[in-house]
Chain A
Amino acid sequence: MSEEVEVDPVTGEQTTGHEWNGIKELDTAVPRGILIFIIVTHLFAFGYWVLMPAFPIGWTYTKGLLGINQHEVVEQALVQLQDERASWTQKIDQLPFNEIQADQALMTNVRDSGRQLFGDNCAACHGQDARGRSNYPDLTDGDWLWGDGSPEAIAETLRVGINSGHAETRMAQMPAFGRDAILDRQQVRQAALYIYSLSHPDASTPENIDQIEGGRTVFADNCAGCHGENAQGDREAGIPNLTDQYWLYGGDLETIIETIHGGRAGHMPTWDERLTPTEMKTLALYVHDLGAGAP
């Protein structure tokens, strides 16, 4: 070990005289810039401590000269935001749907905020474009399972949900005719063929006409009670029309058999406590607006 102080030829600085396995150290003074930098950061910290809540004292803490409290800051920001939005949300709250729809400025507000509301709450099932997918209805096609597609009806569906936990929930359930042995395999198949032929008249051929006619009887005895004699359903009770081209679970023969065999009970959550009345009303208008061009 050498305890000899040397002068480093490159920098002209002295070493400390320490050496570890060939590593030496220079005794360079701490650069002034670093000292200044230390002073600046410390002054900032001391200043911040004086102005802001900083140190605990027993059960309380130093509040700081500015008297800033993060909880109050958040509350004030929320109140301010509500105030700014109130310019249009108050009208949404107070006006009936048709008057809002007639007000183009208000509808711009609805489209602005409805897009984000829909994207964060509805799109997970109905899709970003609201066109749904298998088992989740398309909201843009003008066909409605529940209600007439008016903003009022949509708002009601949002509020109570379908087969949800809400006390006033919209409820609709189709029994499992096959699984629960209400119908035998032959009857399920005949009913399915009949139902399929309602929306696909070409499917009726001389070879299967007997089957279809058998299905007509099965339908009249088991299905018409809900779906109606003419199979056109009832939108006030969430019962689908079986004669059109709109199928929630699929309109091919196999899927219809599956539906009759296992039954169906769709689900949509209630948004009553998750969204405010203003948000639900805005969403109802937004969703209605999406399908405004539909037949």
Chain B
Amino acid sequence: MISGLTRDERVQGLGLLAVVGAAGLVLAVAGRWDALGIHGLLIVLCCALLAGYVFFRLGDPEPTEERLSRYYDDPTKVGIALSMAWAIFGMFIGVWVASQLAWPDLTFGQAWSSLGRLRPSHTTGVIFGFGGNALIATSYHVVQRTSRARLAGHVSPWFVLLGFNLFCLLAVTGYSMGITQSKEYAEPEWYADIWLVVVWVTYFVLYLRTLARRKEPHIYVANWYYLAFIVVVAILHIFNNLAVPVSLGSSKSYTIWPGVQDAMVQWWYGHNAVAFFLTAGFLAMMYYYLPKRADRPIFSYRLSILSFWGITFFYMWAGSHHLHYTALPQWVQTLGMTFSIMLLVPSWASAGNALLTLRGAWHKVRDDATLRFMVVAAIFYGLSTFEGSFLAIRPVNSLSHYTDWTVGHVHAGALGWVAFITFGSIYTLVPSLWGRARMYSPALIEVHFWLALAGTLVYVFAMWNSGIIQGLMWRTYTESDTLAYTFVDTLVAMYPYYIARAFGGLLFLLGAIVGSFNIWMTVKRGPVAVEAGRDLPAAAVALTPGE
């Protein structure tokens, strides 16, 4: 990895690590009476380890200018490895918390392992750790190929990737110590949030500069989506996390948004995190790796335009459907519901565009589990966007809200769509990235596919059943016009589904472990590709040194 960087770049890296490490030291001193101090030390430790790695390789041979005529893929490789590591961590925690719901003693009576602290570790681990790393890694890969230009920089891609992982690490270790803003999917506290802004703005600049170097007249659809993902996540993150720390030596902060406005900003954030993190970014993957794998042209350019702008415009309004029948004014709920319904068409247009791209390639879907991952992803994308619009209708929401149906819906999207498109993309990407003819074992991809599909179906069906039963029990009246069931009655009814859910999650986790093994073996021992050298940027003369 270090061999791709010049001595100057290695020194720049050390300089950056010194600055970040110094900031960590300030936090460690200022927060010495608080858990913040531990986080400060953690930052110092991470910077020191990385600086040690770079320092002892300062004198290693430097790359030649020839590197500029190739794509810069080292950060993508590390990003994929980190993504799979976070997948196993996040999914393991997921299986654990799911099991805690069925067998509460699995908290072992410890504060750090209580459901309230592990649950955000699960969501952060899978959404930001697994999903986020996959998005960063593939965006680096795709933007270079579709622009026929090398990444605009050598240090900044590492800064973004590793800085983002530091954010995830601060988040997860923070939860175990009880540090949280108590905002769903935005739990990390103020100092971690500020750090993410720095990382994210760097990401944005890096992406724009790379696009600006493109040797293609048009910007490919995948890049529209990656850019929407980067821009909107920055906006959401900044506005939802506006907060005032108790003191500079305290990890605790209070949001600047009061009452119902806080709820509205939070769910504007929450829903658009689903839209622009879990949808736009992964649509970008789909738009590149699916046609690539199927070797078919995109079904309709016009449909791509329609769905991109539809998704971008309508999603922004839909967040208030998370707050139906609350203190939120009814007119805001109306807008959330109606825009959610109008959103369905561009969502389905995306799914349809993907599936119709496969015209003439369906025989490959039968034979190739990698492509099948992406096809199932598109189907689940269509399914969960329909479900999302449906659940946003107020009377439907009055049954489904606060029940396991919501959990089932989220996992239909997160497992069926996000994870499936990611695995399909990674299996497409890994062999070409490491110069292999194919993955180490196509049979293990099949095993992964069926484990993941079975796990998703078991999980989602369990939660649909559980959620609808729960919702109905909450609203069943006796002949005396009083509620028929106690809260504990509903828990007893959900118990078998909790066990099924944990089992479904376990299957999915096993699939991810099989996948990680297959990727590892591909890198170590995969069959070497005979035909190499086609995967190059525009003629090297176009890349001047220093670019």
Contacts and interface: CB of A to CB of B under 8 A. Distances in A.
Binding site secondary structure of chain A: mixed
A61 B328 CA distance: 13
Contacts, number: 149
A107 to B, nearest CB: 11
Given A28-B300, A37-B344, 15 more contacts: A1-B216, A25-B301, A26-B300, A31-B352, A41-B341, A49-B338, A61-B331, A70-B325, A85-B481, A85-B482, A109-B480, A112-B484, A113-B482, A117-B482, A128-B488
A20 B301 contact: no
A38 interface: yes
Contacts of A23: 146, 220, 288, 291-292, 297-298
A27 B302 contact: yes
B182 interface: no
A49 B352 CA distance: 29
A202 interface: no
Nearest to A60: B331
Contact of B487 (A21, A25, A52, A119): A119
A117 B487 CA distance: 10
Contact of B302 (A28, A53, A70, A112): A28
Contact of A53 (B301, B334, B479): B334
A11 interface: yes
A137 B145 CA distance: 73
Interface string B314-354: 00000000000100011101110111011011001100100
A186 B60 CA distance: 82
B306 interface: yes
A81 B481 CA distance: 7
B489 interface: yes
18 contacts: A1-B216, A8-B297, A18-B216, A20-B220, A22-B295, A27-B301, A28-B300, A29-B302, A30-B349, A34-B348, A37-B344, A37-B345, A38-B342, A41-B342, A48-B337, A49-B338, A85-B481, A113-B483
The 3 closest A-B pairs by CB, nearest first: A119-B486, A10-B360, A113-B482
A67 B488 CA distance: 39
Given A41-B345, A48-B334, A119-B489, A30 B480 contact: no
Contacts of B360: 10-11
B211 to A, nearest CB: 12
A134 B242 CA distance: 49
A160 B488 CA distance: 26
B218 interface: yes
Interface residues of A, number: 55
A69 B334 CA distance: 12
A90 B131 CA distance: 59
Interface string B391-422: 00000000000000000000000000000000
Interface string B208-246: 000000011110110000000000000000000000000
A61 B298 contact: no
Nearest to B326: A70
Contact of B146 (A3, A8, A20, A31): A20
B300 A30 contact: yes
B299 interface: yes
Given A21-B146, A22-B292, A30-B300, A38 B345 contact: yes
Contact of B479 (A25, A26, A112): A112
Contact of B349 (A20, A24, A34, A48): A34
A124 to B, nearest CB: 9
Contact of B480 (A29, A69, A113): A113
Interface string A28-68: 11110010011001101100110011111000011000001
Interface of A: 1, 3, 8, 10-11, 15-16, 18, 20-31, 34, 37-38, 41-42, 44-45, 48-49, 52-56, 61-62, 68-70, 81, 84-85, 88, 108-109, 112-113, 115-120, 123, 128
B266 interface: no
Given A16-B301, A34-B349, A54-B331, A10 B359 contact: yes
B384 interface: no
B485 interface: yes
Given A20-B146, A20-B216, A123-B488, A30 B302 contact: yes
Nearest to A85: B481
B296 interface: yes
B148 interface: yes
Contact of B344 (A22, A41, A118): A41
Contacts of A123: 486, 488
Contact of B478 (A34, A55, A70, A113): A113
Nearest to B346: A38
A26 B217 contact: no
A49 B489 CA distance: 40
A21 B148 contact: yes
B198 interface: no
Contact of B342 (A24, A45, A84, A112): A45
B306 A25 contact: no
A194 B302 CA distance: 94
Contacts of A1: 215-217
B303 A34 contact: yes
B304 interface: yes
Nearest to B218: A18
Nearest to B389: A41
Contact of B341 (A21, A45, A85, A109): A45
Given A53-B329, A54-B335, A10 B345 contact: no
A244 B371 CA distance: 76
Given A38-B345, A41-B342, A119-B488, A49 B334 contact: yes
B99 to A, nearest CB: 23
A251 B330 CA distance: 60
A55 B331 contact: yes
A8 B333 CA distance: 46
Contacts of A128: 488
A41 B339 CA distance: 9
A198 to B, nearest CB: 38
Contacts of A54: 331, 334-335, 338
A24 B296 CA distance: 8
Given A41-B345, A53-B329, A70-B325, A27 B478 contact: no
Nearest to B145: A21
Nearest to B338: A45
Interface string B15-48: 0000000000000000000000000000000000
A30 B335 CA distance: 27
A20 B145 contact: yes
Interface string B83-100: 000000000000000000
Contacts of A55: 331, 335
Given A11-B359, A34-B306, A61-B329, A26 B299 contact: yes
B56 to A, nearest CB: 37
Contacts of A8: 297
In the complex, which of the residues B146, B335, B338, B489 has the most CB atoms of chain A within 10 Å of its own CB atom? B338
Contacts of A85: 480-482
Contacts of A119: 486-489
